[in-house]
Structure 1
């Protein structure tokens, strides 16, 4: 029985990894039961023994990608001093991750949620992700009276919408042209938002 459970877990893992690879390289438009099964090395009928449909797999991938992005952000911002500098490092690492994996950005912020999964947890899981990454630093700034709770809420919203817009234009329109120009525009925007946050 133990071996059967391990085998089932392994096969589930193959399907999840196959879905992640498709999402990273080709985006949601290429995710289908047949494509996933082929990439995983199993028949599409086998997939249905483990998952309801491809949307179930996509939802699991969203969670995995968030874990992956969180690890990337944590590693890239580890040496930054607490407060505004740490927040800046987190935001830049967040952008870096999505530029590296534009298919994941599209999955998170461009695709209609109804196309991903009908679970009500999907929307807050995705839309609250940036706030979750920055949560500790915002608490640190509010507790230290560097920023008020109201100001922090305004800045969080501005950063979410602004950074999403910057990524959308860069990934889909190559505007600004080239990564250095994008990074400069993003850094200018972030610095402008983090400036003058006195409580």
Structure 2
């Protein structure tokens, strides 16, 4: 392996190590209590080393966000072959719930944890986050155009659908269904039925 290629691989390995450490620390002790120094101590490097790769912890959090949303869009993209837009919308909503059930920590970082999104404001575009939402918006638009759901502002409809899914899975991620003594199987079935019931009310 050429020296240049080896150095690039080592650089990427270090970035990944920092991101993995920061992710776990954000989840364990929260954004505010996590510092560059605590990340450095966790990976047994100096804070100066981390600053070679990221300007601050906001940028690290932004990269974690980007990775998580890229993973979510990949889940959505599995439904590309579905031709009927309402069937695709149903599949998207259910896969969103499934994503949260399978990746509760990631979902917490993406949508629930209180943390500044100042780095997103500094970027020209929020590529992965926008792309995931655009996938939902395009599907909603197709549903409206083909009269599969009741007419309305497409953006508002997309936000309404996302907000419903977010509210549902947030209750799960934060353990609110636990007080109801529901098993994981019953919770999964209940959420699946809730999605069907919600979308049925949108149909024409």
- Category of TM-score, reference length = shorter chain: 0.7 to 0.9
Q: After TM superposition, give the deviation of residue 190 of structure 1 in Å.
A: 1.8
Change (3 A) 1:46 1:189: same
Structure 1 window deviating more from structure 2 (140-149 vs 125-134): it is 125-134
Partner of 1:59: 62
Structure 2 length as normaliser, TM-score?
0.74
Partner of 2:192: 187
Partner of 1:120: 121
Q: Runs of 5+ in structure 2 lacking a partner?
A: none
Q: After TM superposition, give the deviation of residue 21 of structure 1 in Å.
A: 4.9
Is this contact kept in 2: 1:83–1:137, CA < 8 A? yes
Change (3 A) 1:148 1:162: closer
Change (3 A) 1:73 1:127: closer
Is this contact kept in 1: 2:96–2:165, CA < 8 A? no
Q: After TM superposition, give the deviation of residue 58 of structure 1 in Å.
A: 0.7
Q: After TM superposition, give the deviation of residue 186 of structure 1 in Å.
A: 2.1
Q: After TM superposition, give the deviation of residue 171 of structure 1 in Å.
A: 1.9
Which secondary structure does the structure 1 equivalent of 2:174 belong to? helix
Counterpart Cα distance in 2 of 1:14 and 1:160: 32
What are the superposed Cα offsets for residues 78-137 of structure 1, whole Å, 9 maximum, x if unpaired? 5655322221111111111122222222222222342x5354268x95986763341332
Q: After TM superposition, give the deviation of residue 60 of structure 1 in Å.
A: 0.8
Which secondary structure does the structure 2 equivalent of 1:173 belong to? coil
Structure 1 length as normaliser, TM-score?
0.75
Which secondary structure does the structure 2 equivalent of 1:112 belong to? coil
Q: How many residues end up aligned between the 2 structures? A: 195
